[in-house]
Amino acid sequence: MRGVYATFTGELPRAARLSAALLYGGPEATLSHYTAAEEWGMVPIRDGPVEITVPYNCSATSQPDRVIVHRSRALRFTVRNYVPPRTSRVDTIIDLATSQSTPEEAVDTVIDLVGRSGVTVTELRTVLELRKAYRHRKALDRAAELIAGGLMSILEAEYLREVELAHSIPPADRQVPFTVDDRVLWEDATYDSLGVPLTVRLDGRTHHSTPGVAFRDRRRDNAAELAGRSRLVYGWHEVHKDPCGVASEVLAVLRRAGWSGGNRCSRCSKVVSGLAG
């Protein structure tokens, strides 16, 4: 980067690359966007340019493959004095969301990162209220509403959008507590409000990383069976690749219990079981 020099040879370690980018940006520069998210532990560390934010009057410009420079008029309100300095968790989430191409991607980004970061919906709404001017404003407000309603992951957001809303299924109750073995566990979606004891579990993992998780889920399944509850479990592949097939199965269980409703969406290529309405 122009004006910044290393006093040693060889490949720059990550800490040196971050320091160089901040020196290049000037005394008020701070890590932001994806780089700040890396430092907060929200996303995996990648091999790419360092992202910083500087005041509007700063002369620093982006340097290909080394540093991406963003500008902000409210920088002093978003920085946290860590080493190295970075934007706050909630401001980092908003920055990444507003950089997305579509409102839908912005919503998914907020839901995903809030679920990973420990940011509360109250903190999110407070900063959204303070930061009036940015892209995807309505989408970010919508994301806050969804999180307040219990959505905790991109998978849950996609299930709501592509399975429930697209097929005229009333949104389920989210994050419903159930007691199993004297422990309170939380189910992703239940349809008891429709008069149907159906639980839909959304599992974004490709496998259970610990025996304890697998044991907990078996106990939860057994408890549901003993309580006479139907259960359906879906992962990212089913919801993302075949939401119409997922909807047909959910509707089949709902209708078996006497609920009527639901329709084919514009992507349903044919009437499948459970979508004949």
Pairing between β-strand 50-55 and β-strand 67-72 as defined by DSSP bridges: parallel
pLDDT at 209: 46
Determine contact, residues 252/273, Cβ cutoff 8 Å: yes
**What's residue 206's pLDDT?**
45
Query: What's the distance, CA 253 to chain centroid?
Result: 28
Query: In 3D, which of 148, 166, 159, 125 has the Cα closest to residue 238?
Result: 159
pLDDT value at residue 140? 94
Q: 127 and 77 in contact (C-beta within 8 Å)?
A: no
At 8 the pLDDT is 59
pLDDT at 210 over 60: no
Full set of structural domains in the chain with CATH: 1-87 (no CATH), 89-148 (no CATH), 154-256 (3.40.960.10)
Answer yes or no: are the C-beta atoms of 153 and 109 closer than 8 Å. Answer: no
> Per-residue pLDDT tens for 62-96?
998 899 999 988 888 888 888 899 999 999 999 99
Q: How confident is the model at residue 207 (pLDDT cuts 50, 70, 90)?
A: very low
Where is 101: in which H helix or E strand? none
What average pLDDT score do residues 135-149 get?
92
Which amino acid does the sequence have at 82?
A: Y
| CA proximity to 74, closest of 144, 134, 121, 114 | 134
- 269 pLDDT more than 70: no
Distance (Å, whole) CA 78 – CA 128: 12
User: What separation in angstroms does the CA of 27 have from each of 51, 232, 277?
Assistant: 15, 54, 63
Provide the whole-model pTM: 0.76
pLDDT of residue 273: 47
Confidence class of residue 11 from pLDDT cuts 50, 70 and 90?
Answer: confident
pLDDT attached to residue 78: 85
Partners of 82 in beta bridges: none
213-249 confidence digits (pLDDT tens)? 667 777 888 888 888 899 999 998 999 999 999 999 9
